Amino acid sequence: MTDNKLINLINISKSYGDNVVLDELNLYIRENEFLTLLGPSGCGKTTTLRIIGGFENPDKGQVIFEGKDITKLPPNERQLNTVFQKYALFTHMTIAENIAFGLKIKKKSKDYINDKIKYALKLVNLDGFENRMPDSLSGGQQQRIAIARAIVNEPKVLLLDEPLGALDLKLRQDMQYELIRLKNELGITFIYVTHDQEEALTMSDTVVVMNQGYIQQIGSPEDIYNEPQNAFVADFIGESNILPSIMIEDKLVNILGTSFACVDTGFGRNKPVDVVIRPEDIDLVKPEDGIIKGVVTSLLFKGVHYEMEVNANGHDWLVHSTDLVPVGNEVGIWVDPYDIQIMNKPESEDEEAVELDI
């Protein structure tokens, strides 16, 4: 991976009527990156993708592609191709005609086109489907054709708009591996839109978490999961305990009246903060060994672990543990300092509102 900025979005704003979808968005995408725009519906992720694809014009701002401003360029003149959410195959054409569509427009030779169709169908594991009609294919197969149709044009960037959204769980998981394989074989840039955090964490090099038209956090899947920068990200990515706390001093935080050692510094003294603790990072120990004591109030068997709620200091702590502690038992709660993630309190009311929504 190079540090080349292949696409650069500068100060992009977009609204529909009174509804502001994107507000001064800045984002760059590096060459050969698998970048995912992740967020709840209405967060502006699809609009961002459509602006890159050229299907929407931003009200303000620029789209730079390989150093050139392409903001005003129509989609047919952009070196990108899109895989649409519901495939958008041409139902009146055969599979081969679908795949050949872009190549015929570029007036490629017959032999070239036929080779490309063969190659693309092989790539998506659908050899021999040339003369079938799109209607006769399953959802997963149609999705692969949509991908094949896009990649034969050798785009520098492939845009994927919730491409797995309409597939069932098993197929979705298979397709995730398929996409990663494709990405590696083709060696091109993928920009992927999804609301599914698991999909985002599994496939991406970089995850961009968005909400209400703003970027909440950009980082590797590990960063996003382990070090969420605000309560929205923490809550959206996986399950977590978000606890209003006070940073007493560097490396010491008061959570619900009890002091915990942590590793974070630089928040100042006696500052209100939010603390995130992932449920699997809480260790249940003997009552006397814990930092605080609590009582187990509920217990669910989840397959690989038990999910428990422990009431301590007036809060129900969500705990994932492989050890079973029956309801009503007293336990101690222990959290390693490096498992405590400190976040600044949200500054704008907007972000606060979001927190309540989720």
CB of 81 to another protein, least distance (A): 6
The answer to whether the Cα torsion of 347, 351, 356, 358 is positive or negative is negative
| Comparison of 82 and 240: residue with beta carbon closer to another protein | 82
Near another protein by CB under 8 A: residue from 116, 149, 183, 278: 149
| Only segment of 7-15, 102-110, 259-267, 311-319 that touches another protein (CB under 8 A) | 102-110
Residue whose pair of structure tokens reads 């217990």 in the numeric block: 299
Residue whose pair of structure tokens reads 């899947």 in the numeric block: 221
Confirm if 123 and 182 have CB atoms less than 8 A apart.
Answer: yes
CA–CA dist 326, 117 (Å, integer)? 60
Measured at the CA of 355, the angle between CA 159 and CA 340, to 5 degrees, comes to 95
CA–CA dist 262, 270 (Å, integer)? 15
Answer yes or no whether residue 109 interacts with another protein by CB under 8 A: no
Answer yes or no whether residue 75 interacts with another protein by CB under 8 A: yes
| Comparison of 19 and 322: residue with beta carbon closer to another protein | 19
CB of 291 to another protein, least distance (A): 43
CA–CA dist 152, 148 (Å, integer)? 6
| Comparison of 28 and 55: residue with beta carbon closer to another protein | 55
Answer yes or no whether residue 82 interacts with another protein by CB under 8 A: yes
Nearest to 147 by CA among 100, 194, 179, 189: 179
Near another protein by CB under 8 A: residue from 25, 32, 35, 46: 46
CB-based burial of residue 55 (10 Å sphere; 0-12 exposed, 13-18 middle, 19+ buried)? middle
| Comparison of 53 and 290: residue with beta carbon closer to another protein | 53
Helix/strand/coil for 236: helix
| Only segment of 57-65, 75-83, 251-259, 341-349 that touches another protein (CB under 8 A) | 75-83
| Only segment of 47-55, 215-223, 224-232, 304-312 that touches another protein (CB under 8 A) | 47-55
Summarize as ranges the residues that interact with another protein (CB under 8 A).
19, 21, 41-44, 46-47, 53-55, 74-76, 80-82, 84-86, 88-92, 101-102, 105-106, 149-150, 153
